[in-house]
């Protein structure tokens, strides 16, 4: 029978579980995200560098295709920790831009339209809401971070052989772990910005500004006080150090890994506090 003829009937069937309810939000958000032309264009652009790297991996394993080049080339195009760190660094820039474009549309409209009471009056907690929103960004950013990274690693392993894989498995694991950590930080920054300001454009600018301004502040602190711990204020720098440690690449000068890891942990806690304070079903004025 046609819906308009049937009339309203109360639903009394079985309800879905927590995970299915949680996944409903990302599904709707991805659908809407992929309708935004700019996001799709940026997503495509983000794939260029992994494609170039794939070409590089292919060449590195087929040096015979470039005749007349000596052993210097072989040394230059070797696939090692440095190669993957460079890959991660470039992709990290794209993730920040993508997060700045996609992140503000996740929470800011809910706050601007006072939609939070509708979510929280359903069987959904604030943690569920943050997880669901984070999944949107995590899914999107995974497409340009660890997913192509794993493809690169697998490609190199299959071309270079089992021996290379057993000697360098740490690169693959480090790449995935490093990117997951970066996705966590970038997603939290995007969500906190989106929760802090209700206007999408300003929230997007805030995401970009967060990384660029903090990098500038860190350099300023280092220069003014003639210290190196100012770099702890720069999340990109901290993450670069952690990636080098995870992948076993040469560590840059400055504070140690624990200091950088602590700085990232403190940042994550700070962002969670912002979300905790902003994402409330009702605002209580004390």
Partner 1 sequence: MPSVIELDNLRVQLGRREILKGISCRLGVSGAGKAIGLLGPNGAGKSTLIQTLLGFHMPVGGRARVLGFDCHRQPRQVRSCIGYMPETDSFIANMTAVSFLRLMGQISGLPAETALEKAHEVLFHVGLGEARYRQLGTYSLGMKQMAKLAQAIVHGPELVILDEPTNGLDPAARQRMLKLVREMKEEHGMNVVLCSHLLGDVEEVCDEVVIMKDGQVVHQSNLEEERRSNRRFVELEVMGDDSRLGEGLARIGADGVAEGEGRWRIVLQPEMEVAVLWKLAAEQDLLVRKLTHRRDSLEEIFLKAVGHLRQTPGEAAREEVAANGGL
Inter-axis angle of helices 126-142 and 162-196, nearest 10:
130
Q: Which is nearer to partner 1, 120 or 165 (CB)?
A: 120
38 binds partner 1 (CB under 8 A): no
Give the range of 13-21, 66-74, 222-230, 258-266 binding partner 1 by CB under 8 A: 13-21
Q: Which residues contact 96 (CB under 8 A, 6 or more apart)?
A: 186, 207, 208, 211
Instruction: Supply the minimum distance, in Å, between the C-beta of residue 101 and partner 1.
Output: 16
Is 277 a residue that touches partner 1 (CB under 8 A)? no
Rounded distance between C-alpha atoms, residue 107 and residue 86, angstroms: 32
Under the binding rule (CB under 8 A), the answer on residue 12 touching partner 1 is yes
**Least distance CB 111 / partner 1 (angstroms):** 11
DSSP class of residue 123? S
Of 28, 58, 212, 225, the residue at the interface with partner 1 (CB under 8 A) is 28
Handedness of CA 194, 196, 202, 204 (dihedral sign): negative
Q: Where on the phi/psi map is residue 55: left (φ > 0), alpha (ψ -120 to 50), or beta?
A: alpha
Measured from the CB atom, is 109 or 209 closer to partner 1? 109
Residue 281 is classified by DSSP as: S
Q: And the tokens for 79?
A: 């696939």
Contacts of 33 (CB under 8 A, 6+ apart): 39, 102, 105, 136, 140
Among 55, 117, 161, 252, binds partner 1 (CB under 8 A): 117
Q: What residues between 120 and 139 interact with partner 1 by CB under 8 A? A: 120-125
7 binds partner 1 (CB under 8 A): yes
* Of residues 88, 90, 63, the one with CA closest to residue 76: 63
Q: What is the dihedral of CA 209, 215, 219, 220, to 10 degrees?
A: 20
Q: Tell me which stretch binds partner 1 (CB under 8 A): 6-14, 38-46, 56-64, 181-189.
A: 6-14
* Residues 236-255 contacting partner 1, CB under 8 A: none
Q: State the distance between the two ends of the chain, measured CA to CA, in whole angstroms.
A: 53
* Binding range to partner 1, per CB under 8 A, among 116-124, 152-160, 189-197, 229-237: 116-124
How far is the CA of 37 from the CAs of 40, 82, 137, 240, 285, in angstroms? 5, 34, 17, 31, 40
For residues 58 to 97, the per-residue mask of contacts with partner 1, x marking binding by CB under 8 A and - elsewhere, is ----------------------------------------
Does position 37 interact with partner 1 (CB under 8 A)? The reply is no
Region from 112-120, 231-239, 251-259, 264-272 binding partner 1, contact rule CB under 8 A: 112-120
Q: Is 284 in the site for partner 1 (CB under 8 A)?
A: yes
**Shortest Cβ 220–partner 1 spacing (Å):** 39
| Distance, CA of 218 to CA of 220 (rounded, Å) | 5
Which of these ranges, 14-22, 45-53, 147-155, 186-194, lies near partner 1 under the rule CB under 8 A?
A: 14-22
Interface residues with partner 1 (CB under 8 A) are: 3-4, 6-13, 15-16, 20-21, 24-25, 28, 109-110, 112-115, 117-125, 280-282, 284-286
């Amino acid at each position: 029978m046609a819906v308009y003829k049937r009339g309203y009937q109360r639903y009394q069937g079985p309800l879905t579980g927590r995970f299915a309810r949680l996944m409903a939000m990302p599904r709707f958000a991805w659908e809407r995200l992929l309708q935004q032309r700019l996001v799709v264009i940026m997503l495509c652009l983000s794939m260029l560098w992994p494609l170039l790297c794939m070409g590089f991996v292919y060449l590195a394993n087929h040096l015979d295709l470039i005749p007349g080049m000596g052993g210097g080339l072989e040394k230059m195009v070797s696939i090692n920790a440095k190669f993957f760190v460079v890959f991660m660094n470039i992709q990290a820039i794209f993730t920040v831009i993508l997060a700045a474009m996609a992140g503000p549309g996740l929470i800011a409209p809910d706050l601007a339209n006072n939609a939070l009471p509708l979510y929280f009056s359903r069987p959904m907690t604030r943690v569920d809401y943050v997880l669901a929103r984070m999944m949107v960004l995590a899914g999107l950013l995974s497409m340009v971070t660890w997913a192509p990274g794993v493809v690169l690693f697998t490609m190199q392993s299959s071309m270079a052989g089992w021996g290379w894989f057993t000697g360098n498995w740490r690169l693959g694991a480090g790449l995935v772990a490093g990117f997951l950590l970066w996705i966590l930080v970038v997603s939290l920054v995007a969500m906190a910005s989106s929760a802090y300001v209700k206007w999408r454009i300003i929230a997007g600018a805030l995401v970009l500004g967060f990384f660029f301004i903090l990098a500038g502040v860190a350099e300023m602190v280092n220069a003014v006080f003639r210290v190196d711990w100012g770099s702890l204020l720069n999340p990109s720098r901290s993450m670069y150090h952690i990636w080098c440690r995870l992948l076993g690449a040469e560590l840059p000068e400055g504070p140690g890994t624990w200091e950088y890891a602590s700085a990232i942990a403190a940042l994550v806690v700070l962002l969670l506090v912002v979300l905790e304070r902003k994402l409330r079903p009702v605002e209580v004025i004390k």
